[in-house]
C-alpha cells in the first residue's frame, strides 16, 4: 500500500462516517482541484455513487470557465448540484472593491449560511487541507460550528482513534474535512493516478501562466509556470516550488490574521 492508498483509505472512512451519522448532509464543491478530488473520493466510498448533494456557492465573480466545467461534470457524473448565492448582497452591489474580507464574508460565508439554513444541513463536507495555511493546520476532521456559524478554535473537541464528534446541539452544525491530512502535492499525485478530469485553468495553456488556487476572478492571480498538464504540475511541485499555494489569493494578504478572522466567522 503506498501513501496515496493510505490517504484514500482514511478519507473514505471519514466520508462514510459522515454519511452514516448526519441525516442532512451536503458537500461543498468549489470546482477547484481539492473539492473535485473529494467528489471522486465520495464515488469511491459509495461504490460509484455520490449520495450526498453538492453545494456550490456562486459569488457571480467566478471565472466563467468554472461554471461551464461545473455543469458539464455534474451532468456526466450524475451529481445532485445545488447552487447558492447571496442575491441580496449582489443586488446591493457587493464586490471586492468594498474590501476583500468584507466581500468574502458577504458572498461566500453569508451565501453559504443562507443555503445551510434553507436546506437545514447539519453536516457540511469541505475539501480544506492542513498544509494550506496556519488556521487550517489546526482544524479537526469533524469540526463544530455554533449557531452564529462561528468556529471556536480555542476550544475544539479532542479527536482520537477516528472517533469523531457526531453529536451536537440543535442549531449548530459540523464541518467535515475528509482530506485535511493531504498536501497539495498529494492531491496532484492522486489526480494523476486516478486520471480525474480537472478544470484546465490549472494548466499553463499559454503565456507561461497558470492558476495554482482558484477563486473569484478579481481576487485570484495566476503564477508563472510552464506546467501544461498534470504530470508537469507534479514535477513542478516536487522540484521547483518554494512559494505557497495560496500566494495568488488576495484575501489572505489583507491582514496578518486575515484567514483566522475570516474562518472564525464561518469562511471555508
Partner 1 sequence: MNDNGSVANLSGRQMRLVIVGHVDHGKSTLVGRLLSDTGSLPEGKLDFIKDICERQGKAFEFAFLLDALEEEQDQGITIDTSQIFFKTLKRHYVIIDAPGHKEFLKNMVTGAANAESALLLIDAYEGVQEQSRRHGYILKLLGLTQVAVVVNKMDLVDYDPEVFFKIKSEYTDFLKSIGVEAREFIPVSAKKGVNIAKRENEMPWYKGPSVLEMLDQFEESVPPSHLPFRFPVQDVYKFDERRIIAGRVEAGRLKVGDRLIFSPSNKKSVVKSIEAWSVAEQPTEAKSAESIGFTLQEQIFVERGDIASRVDEMPIVSTTFDVNLFWMGKRHLEKGRSYTLKLTTQEVPCEVIEFKKVIDASTLETLSNQDFVAKNDVAELTLKTRKPVAFDLFGVSATTGRFVMVDDYDVCGGGIITTYTPSNKEDKLRDEVRYRNFNWVKSNIESDERAYRNGHRAAFILISGDSGVGKADLARHLEEKLFKLNFQSYLLDRRNVGLGVAADIAPEDSKGTAGETVRRFGEVSKLFLDAGHVVISTSNAFNQDQDADIRLLAEPHPVVDILITDEAHPNREAAVVLTLKEAKNQAEAAQKVYHYLKDQKILTGHNYSI
Say whether residue 257 binds partner 1 (CB under 8 A): yes
Which stretch in 88-96, 110-118, 219-227, 232-240 sits in contact with partner 1 by CB under 8 A? Answer: 232-240
Query: Exposed, middle or buried: residue 260 (CB in 10 Å: 0-12, 13-18, 19+)?
Result: middle
β 223-224/209-210 pair status: antiparallel
Say whether residue 13 binds partner 1 (CB under 8 A): yes
Say whether residue 34 binds partner 1 (CB under 8 A): no
Helix ranges, the chain (H): 3-21, 33-45, 64-76, 87-91, 100-104, 111-119, 184-194, 230-239, 258-264
Please select the residue that binds partner 1; options are 30, 36, 133, 215, rule is CB under 8 A. 133
**Terminal CA-to-CA distance of the chain, rounded, Å?**
32
Rg, the chain, Cα only: 18
Say whether residue 229 binds partner 1 (CB under 8 A): no
Q: Which of 228, 232, 223, 199 is nearest to 37 (CA)?
A: 199
d(CA 229, CA 5): 23
* Contact flags string 75-94 toward partner 1, x per CB under 8 A: --------------------
Least CB distance to partner 1 at residue 91 (A): 33
Please select the residue that binds partner 1; options are 135, 220, 225, 251, rule is CB under 8 A. 135
Residues 143-182 touching partner 1, rule: CB under 8 A, are: 153-154, 156-161, 163, 165, 167-169, 181
Half-sphere exposure of 249 (CA within 13 A, CB side): 17
**What is the total count of residues that contact partner 1 (CB under 8 A)?**
69
Query: Exposed, middle or buried: residue 227 (CB in 10 Å: 0-12, 13-18, 19+)?
Result: buried
Please give the torsion angle defined by the CA atoms of residues 158, 52, 181 and 263, in that order, rounded to the nearest 10 degrees.
-70
Least CB distance to partner 1 at residue 7 (A): 9
d(CA 125, CA 246): 21
Which lies closer to partner 1 via its Cβ, residue 65 or residue 137?
A: 137
Least CB distance to partner 1 at residue 186 (A): 8
Say whether residue 24 binds partner 1 (CB under 8 A): no
Least CB distance to partner 1 at residue 261 (A): 8
State the residues that interact with partner 1 by CB under 8 A.
1-3, 5-6, 8-10, 12-13, 16-17, 19-20, 43-49, 51, 130-138, 140, 153-154, 156-161, 163, 165, 167-169, 181, 183-186, 189, 194, 237-239, 241-247, 252-253, 256-260
Amino acid at each position: 500500500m503506498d501513501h496515496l492508498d493510505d490517504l484514500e483509505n482514511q478519507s473514505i472512512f471519514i466520508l462514510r462516517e459522515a454519511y452514516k451519522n448526519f441525516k442532512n448532509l451536503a458537500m461543498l464543491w468549489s470546482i477547484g482541484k481539492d473539492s473535485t478530488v473529494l467528489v471522486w473520493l465520495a464515488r469511491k466510498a459509495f461504490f460509484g455513487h455520490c449520495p450526498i448533494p453538492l453545494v456550490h456557492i456562486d459569488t457571480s465573480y467566478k471565472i466563467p470557465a468554472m461554471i461551464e466545467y461545473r455543469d458539464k461534470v455534474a451532468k456526466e457524473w450524475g451529481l445532485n448540484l445545488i447552487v447558492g448565492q447571496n442575491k441580496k448582497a449582489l443586488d446591493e452591489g457587493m464586490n471586492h472593491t468594498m474590501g476583500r474580507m468584507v466581500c468574502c464574508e458577504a458572498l461566500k460565508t453569508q451565501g453559504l449560511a443562507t443555503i445551510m439554513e434553507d436546506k437545514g444541513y447539519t453536516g457540511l463536507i469541505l475539501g480544506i487541507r492542513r498544509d494550506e495555511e496556519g488556521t487550517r493546520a489546526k482544524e479537526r476532521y469533524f469540526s463544530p460550528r455554533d449557531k452564529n456559524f462561528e468556529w471556536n478554535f480555542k476550544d475544539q473537541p479532542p479527536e482520537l482513534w477516528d472517533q469523531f464528534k457526531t453529536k451536537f446541539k440543535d442549531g449548530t452544525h459540523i464541518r467535515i474535512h475528509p482530506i485535511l491530512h493531504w498536501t497539495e502535492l498529494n492531491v496532484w499525485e492522486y489526480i494523476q493516478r486516478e486520471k480525474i478530469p480537472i478544470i484546465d485553468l490549472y494548466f499553463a495553456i499559454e503565456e507561461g501562466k497558470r492558476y495554482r488556487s482558484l477563486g473569484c476572478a478579481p481576487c485570484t492571480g495566476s503564477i508563472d509556470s510552464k506546467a501544461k498538464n498534470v504530470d508537469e504540475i507534479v514535477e513542478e511541485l516536487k522540484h521547483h516550488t518554494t512559494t505557497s499555494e495560496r500566494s495568488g489569493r488576495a484575501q489572505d494578504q489583507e491582514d496578518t490574521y486575515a484567514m483566522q478572522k475570516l474562518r472564525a466567522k464561518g469562511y471555508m
